[in-house]
Amino acid sequence: MTQIANKKGVISVVIVEDYKLTRVGLKSTLNDYEHINVVGEAENADEGIRIIGKLHPDVVLMDLGLPGMNGLEATIKVKEQLPSTKVIILTSHERGEEVIAALGAGANAYCLKDITPETLSEVIRNVAEGACWVDPAVSDVALNFFPKPDNVSLLHSTEVQDARAQLTERELEVLKHLVKGKSNTEIAKELIVSVHTAKAHVCSILQKLCVDDRVQAAVKAIKENII
Task: Please check the confidence at residue 158 and state whether its pLDDT lies above 80.
Answer: no
Name the class of domain 11-135.
alpha beta
- What integer pLDDT is reported at residue 154 of this predicted model? 38
Please report which confidence band the pLDDT of residue 91 belongs to, taking 50, 70 and 90 as the band edges.
Answer: very high
Average pLDDT, the chain: 83
CATH number for 154-223 (one of 3.40.50.2000, 3.40.630.30, 3.50.50.60, 1.10.10.10): it is: 1.10.10.10
- Domain residue spans of the chain: 11-135, 154-223
- What integer pLDDT is reported at residue 117 of this predicted model? 94
- Euclidean distance between CA atoms 92 and 72, whole angstroms: 14
pTM of the model: 0.64
Please report which confidence band the pLDDT of residue 134 belongs to, taking 50, 70 and 90 as the band edges.
Answer: confident
